[in-house]
Amino acid sequence: MGQASTIGLDIAKQVFQAHGADASGRVVFRKRLARAKVLEFFAGQVPCVVALEACGGAHHWAREIGKLGHTVRLIPPAYVKPFIKRQKNDVADAEAICEAAQRPSMRFVPVKSEAQQANALVFRTRDLLVRQRTQCINALRGHLTEYGHVVPKGTDQVDRLVALVEDAESALPKAGQAILQMLIKTLEALGKQIDDLDAEINRRAKADPVARRLMTIPGIGPIAATAITALVPAPEGFRAGRDFAAWLGLTPLQKSTGGKQKLGAISKMGERTIRRLLILGASSVVRWAVHRGATAGSWLAQMLARKPRMLVTTALANKTARIVWALLVKGGTYKAPAAAA
């Protein structure tokens, strides 16, 4: 039996599947591994390339296997799928991962450190709490609608919802009021937790020199700046700002053929947290420009004069992503371009 130069590892909760191949792609072994035996198995292997899908738990296993002297590669699941020949199972998945890793043009996901994953927790947690707060507000609004109280959407209407529930002379049934009070208490607790996370993010933004430089860009605030420093891998790994924008999913989908270019909506195939924050920041800049007036002759003014507002917002987010990449790679702060004459 030859020596495996590449091992594809299909990870799961308890049972893993390994597929080893030599430099020519010939199968060397197929092995089923229990979770407790994975590291023992790789400790007995000659250092080689170990490939995994970039899914839940992959970064942990990449770090642990890397400590044993192996070169670990994480592959986006979408890039592995074309290599599955017929039926999908653990054996076929491991073989597809191994074959995908051997392709010279394959793109890999950088392995995150424990610190990087910990820094991302604050944004993931904040997103979860904001969604739960929105659910509580919608529940309050929906239940009050059933009793004839119609309140507009928006977090600025929360006080009005609370006042309707806590009104002593309200026509709401007492049993219903008691349950709605529980929703209000949950809403208040979520608001307090979100405020605590916002304070932590602001503290990090002030302490991080890179975040402070990013905040000089219009539309980039403490949350977006801190998210970029925490979630973006080494910016030098992107060849240009366009590659960084594509990684965020801010570039158009292509359906081009026969030399004819057909561009659609943005792909949304990248880092969703940063992409959403850039879209929100761009929306704020565009809203300000619409109400206060953009600088005459500026790129934004020209775009607003001939393009729909939402398209301009997305284009500005793409432009902001490229500026972010330039600042991360080259240093310095943002300098607004001079308006065209």
pLDDT digits (tens, 9 = 90+) for 137-151: 999 999 999 888 888
* Residue 69 clears pLDDT 90, i.e. is over it: yes
What share of the chain in percent tops pLDDT 90? 66
* Confidence bin at 339 (pLDDT 50/70/90): low
- Note the pLDDT of residue 176: 84
What would the pLDDT profile of 44-59 be if each residue is shown by its tens digit?
999 999 999 999 999 9
Q: Across all residues in the chain, what is the average pLDDT?
A: 91
Residue-wise DSSP of 156-220: GGHHHHHHHHH-TT--S-HHHHHHHHHHHHHHHHHHHHHHHHHHHHHHHHHH-HHHHHHTTSTT-
* Confidence bin at 172 (pLDDT 50/70/90): confident
In one-letter notation, the amino acid at residue 27 is V
What would the pLDDT profile of 81-123 be if each residue is shown by its tens digit?
999 988 899 999 999 999 999 999 998 988 998 988 888 899 8
- Note the pLDDT of residue 147: 87
- Note the pLDDT of residue 7: 96
* Residue 340 clears pLDDT 70, i.e. is over it: no
Assess contact for 70 and 50: CB atoms under 8 A.
yes
Tracing tokens 């300098």 back to the chain, one arrives at: 335
Report d(CA 121, CA 45) in Å as an integer: 34
Identify the helix (H) or strand (E) that includes residue 288.
Answer: helix 272-292
What would the pLDDT profile of 124-140 be if each residue is shown by its tens digit?
999 999 999 999 999 99
**Mean pLDDT (whole number) for 12-27:** 94
- Note the pLDDT of residue 141: 92
Tokens for 251, please give them: 């570039």
- Lowest mean pLDDT, pick from 4-18, 62-76, 163-177: 163-177
* Residue 337 clears pLDDT 80, i.e. is over it: no
What would the pLDDT profile of 295-326 be if each residue is shown by its tens digit?
888 889 889 999 999 999 999 999 999 999 99
Q: What is the dihedral of CA 66, 72, 76, 77, to 10 degrees?
A: -90
